[in-house]
A and B are shown apart, each in its own frame.
Chain A
Amino acid sequence: MLARWDVMLALFVGSIGGVMIGAIPGVGPAVAIAILLPATFSLDPIVGLTMLLGIYGSSMYGGAIPAVLINTPGTAVNALTSYDGYPMTQRGEAHRAVSLAYSASFWGGIFGILCLILLSPLLALIAPMFGSREIFLAALLGIILVILAHRGQIFAAGMLAMFGIFLQTVGLDAVTYTQRYTFGFSFLSSGINLIVVVLGLFALSQAFFLLTGPDTSPDAKPVTGRMSAGIKELMGHKRVASVAAGFGVILGMIPGTGEFTAQFMSYTYAQKTSETPEAFGKGAPEGLVASEAANNAVPAAAMIPLLALGIPGEALTAMMLSVFYVHNVIPGPQLFQNNIDLVYGLYFALIALNVIVFVFLLFSTNLMTRIIRVPTRFLGVMILLLSFVGVYSLRNSLTDCMIAAGFGVLGLILKRLNLPIVPIILGMVLGGIMEVKLRSALPRLKTPWDMIDRPIAFILFVMILLVLLLHLRTLFKEIRAPHEGADHDLHDSQQR
């Protein structure tokens, strides 16, 4: 499947493009995938899929470069990389930090894919056990985790997730053929398109964010030295790299947690088990390894619930779900039974993109340092122009452009307030799944208990209860021993 020139070209363009996009602070993979998604409609499904997969899997490699060199993460998930990467640059070890970040990323990426491949037979076995009610419960668990994962912003995340669920109900109900919240406007009858919302919230909002902000042009100095030196040094941090990648795989599989939690847990582990914990945050190589290995293991792991159940765990996999749907590939239990060739094709595409990116970065770091210097407002102009391609090419509709512009302003407000955007997208995707699956499960349910009378459904139900109880326990602990209110944002919730 991959041995086609157009697929290889798409993978190559996607991988290299993803690194460049990741390296530019203020763009990020979400913006790039949102813009390019409609542009791939005219391509062969496997070509479009591999190109966007390339961007998804490679952007974090690029994001490490500005994190290390100018203390500005290229993507939000490279935030912890800057903690130790930038101090290393300050003491003249930029080359060491960058090469170590590449090696750790490569290790994390390959580790994640190997886990995905090894888990495949198990997934193929379990996936068919997921019927409508199991998928409904898994989606419900996903929504709950997405809300609870936004610690310190749970009410806002809940409100925005509910807003997302509401958005997917707007339009003509496909089962009962009744209008819902169209207010008499014919353009709302077909519903609010997920891609239009994604483009507004991620791409246009970023353009508005950059255009309304001050103009800056980061100054990244060129890096000299052999980039392959990091491979040798990584061998000295095998334990940290492996545990961090393990965290990335486990947390990547759980909807709503993803790279942030994986990074923080692996960083904390690395610090606690280090012989020099006081060096963390001041340029500890182990901290850098923990952060990069963890966040690069996540993309492959996040594909597990997406491919096996059709349930995305975060914004990028939600977009990848749209990519699959657009190209007539329906992720879910049947995928492993009917289309296993495609699944293995995607695994090998993931391996290939990691190799391409790693080799590319060994020779092109200084090209990346030039890309980083693009002035932010100029970047905003370009994102605005590119967003038009994404929105208008969907249906050549001016109304779509207006809706996207509206969501762009909403996205800007959320970014300025540091409120999360992701719950809206996941609310739309998971809300749609929940509605459809609950309806199709209903004819077989005589009593509410029938919902959980199968083993997987029961396990999912217990997991939902456990998650809620654990959260309540944490809440009560906080009430009993209240710490002084946080005087800073708990985390940067934006998908840059």
Chain B
Amino acid sequence: MSRVKTLQSLFKRYRRPGDIVFAWVALLVSLYLLSQIMDQTSWRNGDKLFAQPRFWPAVSLVGMVCFAALHLLGSALSERIHGRWQEVGLWLAAFEFAGWFIAYAVAVPYAGYLPSTIICAILLCWRMDYRSRKVLGAAALAALIIVVLFKSFLQVKLPSGLVYEVLPDGLRQFMLTYF
């Protein structure tokens, strides 16, 4: 019994809701990656162990599995705080914004950097429950400043939109270069 208590005191820590879910997922992913080591890396005859292409993936994955198992043990032995699945729900909600980000990235080469940025800023602010003209206007203005700063001023390598092709000659060149 005292040994169990010692083990508990050794591993016990403060944990937030959802910690054990993350600990399980981390362990399972680590185990899966380690199980693939023979397929996903090669062994070269004649080379020293430390020079093998398999060596560092093996070291890191064995380390990941060991630490993930200990993290899970710590999580299991620590006091549970309620709200686990609510927390997991919040993690999943983040995928919506990951989707927004990817949709924005998809839109830029077609709709152009300036229009995509302004539209995305306004729509996302709307999605975040901002309804006042002041905030939506500030979002559009901030989007314009971002485009001018990075594309027009710093000439950051960003694609020009296909939509600019339909513009008149002089304006098209200007938009393609600066916006």
User: Is A417 close to B, CB under 8 A?
Assistant: yes
Question: Given A42-B157, A155-B71, does the pair A405, B6 have CB atoms closer than 8 Å?
Answer: no
Is A389's CB under 8 angstroms from B60's CB? no
Judging by beta carbons under 8 Å apart, are A392 and B70 in contact? Answer: no
Q: Which of chain A's residues 180-197 have a Cβ closer than 8 Å to chain B? A: 180-183
Interface pairs (29), CB distance under 8 Å: A42-B155, A152-B13, A158-B67, A159-B63, A162-B61, A166-B33, A178-B53, A182-B40, A215-B128, A377-B128, A377-B129, A378-B139, A384-B101, A385-B117, A385-B142, A388-B104, A391-B105, A392-B158, A393-B158, A396-B157, A398-B102, A401-B105, A409-B95, A412-B91, A412-B94, A413-B91, A413-B94, A416-B18, A417-B15
- A472 at the B interface (CB under 8 A): no
Residues in A whose Cβ lies below 8 Å from that of B87: 416
In the assembly, what is the distance between CA of A300 and CA of B121, in Å? 37
A162–B120 contact, CB under 8 A?
no
Q: How far is the CA of A387 from the CA of B150 in the complex (A)?
A: 12
A251 to chain B, nearest CB (A): 24
**B18 near A417 (CB under 8 angstroms)?**
yes
Residue of A whose beta carbon sits closest to that of B159: A396
Residues on A with beta carbons closer than 8 Å to the beta carbon of B150:
39, 389, 393
Question: Which of chain B's residues has its CB closest to A181's CB?
Answer: B40
Tell me whether A356 is interfacial, beta carbon within 8 Å: no
14 extra A-B contacts, CB within 8 A, seeds A384-B104, A416-B16, A418-B16: A42-B154, A155-B68, A155-B71, A159-B64, A159-B68, A163-B60, A175-B51, A178-B41, A212-B97, A377-B130, A384-B101, A396-B157, A401-B102, A417-B22
* Max chain A Cβ within 10 angstroms of own Cβ: one of B79, B100, B124, B125: B124
Known: A155-B71, A181-B40, A392-B158. A485 touches B101 (CB 8 A): no
Binds A, one of B42-50, B162-170, B171-179: B42-50
Tell me the smallest distance from the CB of B70 to a CB of chain A, in Å.
Answer: 4
Distance to closest chain B CB from A176 (angstroms): 5
Interface residue total, chain B, C-beta cutoff 8 A: 76
How far is A39 from B56 in the complex, measured between Cα atoms in Å?
A: 32
Cα–Cα distance between A183 and B35 once the two chains are bound (Å): 13
Which bucket holds chain A's interface residue count?
35 or more
Of chain A, the residue at the smallest CB distance from B155 is A42
B146 interface residue per 8 A CB criterion: yes
Q: Is A228 an interface residue (CB 8 A)?
A: no
Are B53 and A208 within 8 A (Cβ)?
A: no
Contacts of A382 in B (CB 8 A): 121, 142, 146
* Complex Cα gap A180–B39 (Å): 9
A178 to B124, CA, bound (A): 43
- Contact A485 B78, beta carbon cutoff 8 Å: yes
Alpha-carbon distance between A175 and B71 when the two chains are bound, in angstroms? 34
Q: Quick check: is A386 within 8 A (CB to CB) of the other chain? A: yes
- On whether the beta carbons of B128 and A402 are closer than 8 Å, the reply is no
Give every chain B residue within 8 A of A479 (Cβ-Cβ): 6, 9-10
Beta-carbon contacts of A429-468 to B below 8 Å, as 1s and 0s?
0010011001100100000000000000000000000000
CB–CB B50/A438 < 8 A: yes
- Residues of chain B within 8 A (CB-CB) of A442 are 48, 50-51
Q: Give, as a whole number of angstroms, the nearest-CB distance from B78 to chain A.
A: 7
Quick check: is A335 within 8 A (CB to CB) of the other chain? no
Asked if A211 lies at the interface with its beta carbon under 8 angstroms from chain B, I say: yes
**Closest B residue, CB atoms, query A441:** B50
The answer to whether B139 touches A417, judged by C-beta atoms less than 8 angstroms apart, is no
A399-433 toward B: CB 8 Å interface, digit per residue (1/0)? 00110111011001100111100000001000100
